[in-house]
Chains A and B, each alone.
Chain A
Amino acid sequence: EVQLVESGGGLVKPGGSLRLSCAASGFSFSDAWMNWVRQAPGKGLEWVGRIKSKTDGGTTDYATPVKGRFTISREDSKNTLYLQMTSLKSDDTAMYYCSFRQAYWGQGTLVTVSS
C-alpha cells in the first residue's frame, strides 16, 4: 500500500525558513517523480514543484511564486522527499501535500507564516 506522510510544518515568522519532509513507502521511491502541492486555507490547489528520479536526471521544476525560495530534494536511501522553504511570506501559509503520480497524496502538513 502506498503511503505518504508529511511532517515538519509549523508556525514561522515572515522571512524565516522551514524544511518539510515526506516519508514514502509501498512503492519504488527511487524510481518516482515526486511533487509538492499546497492549499492555502479555504482556497484551491496550487502546484509547488517536482523532482524527477535520479535515473531521469533528478532535476527539479518550480512554480513561479516559489522559484528561487523553495528547493525540492530527495534522499532515496531513506525514501524521503524534502521541501526546503526560505524567505517565507504570509502568502506561503498553506497545507503542503506531497504527491506521487497525482494518484497518491499524503495527509498534508500545515505551514503558517505569521509574526
Chain B
Amino acid sequence: DAGITQSPRHKVTETGTPVTLRCHQTENHRYMYWYRQDPGHGLRLIHYSYGVKDTDKGEVSDGYSVSRSKTEDFLLTLESATSSQTSVYFCAISETSRGGAVYNEQFFGPGTRLTVL
C-alpha cells in the first residue's frame, strides 16, 4: 500500500471555526490532491498540487485554501467552516504525468470525516 496518511480521521467542529486537515505521504510523489465526497456527487476535486508551493484550484475550491511547503505534506484549510462543508475528505497522490496525460494511478488516503455543526 502507498504510504499516505490523513489527520485527523474524524472531526466535529462548529460553524465559523477554522479547520486544517493534513495529508502526509512517504512516496515522494509529485502530485497531491484534495477531494470531497458527498452522496450523489462522487469525488469532487477541491485543490491540487504539482510541486512544492505549486497549487491550483479544482472544481469546488470556494471556501478552501491549501498549502504545500514540503513534498510530503499537503494541508487543506477551511478558513471559516460552514455546514455545507460537512463531508468526507480524501487526499490522493500520484507520480508525474507522462506524455501530456495523467499516466499514473492515484493512491487515496483513508479519508477524514468532517462534521460542521
Verify that A and B bind, or say they do not.
no
